[in-house]
């Protein structure tokens, strides 16, 4: 169900920091019309750490309502509290999401066995396809291939968002977890190399502001038009760099504001991006051809 270009959606906010439900609904619809294959609300890019639980759930509901079956929705449902993650997972199932994305528990630093038990408990509690989100750079812990293979045996655990940037991982995971285990890159820079090693697509940050190009790149790759996919990636590379030259989603929200999609407001502790970063983001958007 999830393949190609899936976008880790930003959460539009008003200048006063309140959730802008209208802008978010419009943004979801625009993403679908631009060719995005799947919506991924309330991940890290969606500022899930600073959303209230009520806001988190409302964002998922809006994404499902707007998608209306046109594309699948993978709702962020992660927490370093297993009980909270179960609550988010059950809500996503009730709201009609097609899958959930559950991050490895951050700050607690669980062992491999702790991660196995955490994900198993969530998968047992909600009957909805689950994707493991392995991002050691933010969560500190790194799920091993062996632990992932154990979890892949659960009927509800169907794939991974891999943000390790370790290009040996997808092939090891393919061998350990099976070819039907869906592997989505969580790293825009290496997505084509990831696909070449057994990946099925991406959950993209860049797709927030260049959805058509990211979707075209993935479609070209899987249609065997490798040179075309590489040419698009080369066009997008300065934008990938710019959107991560400060903590995300600061730069990508600024880029979205230049396109009139939302304000550039991020909730504290994320600060407004530096003027030098703004210059770099604008230049990269012009290089990609998405800003005049």
DSSP state of 50: G
Contact 96, 60 (CB under 8 A): no
Contact 217, 236 (CB under 8 A): yes
DSSP assignment of 225-239 equals: -HHHHHHHHHHHHHH
Catalytic residue among 23, 161, 253, 278: 161
Q: For the chain, give me the number of helices (H) and strands (E)?
A: 12, 8
Query: Using only C-alpha atoms, what is the Rg of the chain?
Result: 18
Residue with tokens 């959930």: 100
What tokens were used for 121? 């408990």
Backbone region of residue 228 per phi and psi (left: phi > 0; alpha: psi in -120 to 50; beta: other values):
alpha
What tokens were used for 27? 């943004």
Catalytic residue among 133, 253, 254, 278: 133
161 classed as catalytic: yes
| Neighbouring C-beta atoms of residue 270, cutoff 10 Å | 17
Residue with tokens 């099976």: 178
Contact 59, 51 (CB under 8 A): yes
Contact 141, 118 (CB under 8 A): no
Q: Which residues are catalytic?
A: 133, 161
């Amino acid at each position: 169900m999830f393949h190609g270009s899936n976008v880790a959606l930003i959460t539009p906010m008003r200048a006063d920091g309140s959730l802008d439900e209208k802008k978010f609904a419009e943004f979801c619809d625009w993403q679908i019309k631009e060719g995005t294959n799947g919506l991924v609300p309330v991940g890290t890019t969606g500022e899930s750490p600073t959303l209230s639980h009520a806001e988190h759930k409302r964002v998922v509901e809006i994404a499902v309502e707007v998608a209306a079956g046109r594309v699948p929705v993978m709702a962020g449902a992660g927490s370093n509290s297993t009980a909270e993650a179960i609550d988010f997972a059950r809500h996503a199932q009730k709201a009609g999401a097609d899958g959930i994305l559950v991050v490895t528990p951050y700050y607690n630093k669980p062992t491999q066995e702790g991660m196995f038990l955490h994900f198993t408990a969530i998968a047992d509690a909600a009957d909805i396809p689950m994707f493991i989100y392995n991002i050691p750079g933010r969560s500190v812990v790194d799920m091993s291939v062996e632990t992932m293979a154990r979890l892949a045996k659960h009927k509800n655990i169907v794939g991974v968002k891999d943000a390790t940037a370790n290009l040996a991982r997808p092939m090891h995971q393919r061998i350990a977890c099976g070819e039907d285990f869906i592997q989505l890159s969580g790293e825009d820079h290496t997505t084509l190399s990831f696909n070449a090693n057994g990946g099925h697509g991406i959950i993209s940050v860049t797709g927030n502001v260049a959805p058509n190009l990211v979707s075209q790149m993935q479609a070209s790759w899987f249609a065997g038009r490798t040179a075309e996919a590489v040419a698009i990636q080369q066009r997008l590379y300065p934008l990938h760099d710019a959107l991560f030259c400060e903590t995300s989603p600061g730069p990508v929200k600024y880029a979205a504001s230049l396109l009139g999609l939302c304000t550039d407001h991020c909730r504290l502790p994320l600060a407004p991006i530096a003027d030098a970063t703004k210059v770099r983001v604008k230049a990269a958007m012009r290089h990609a051809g998405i800003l005049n």
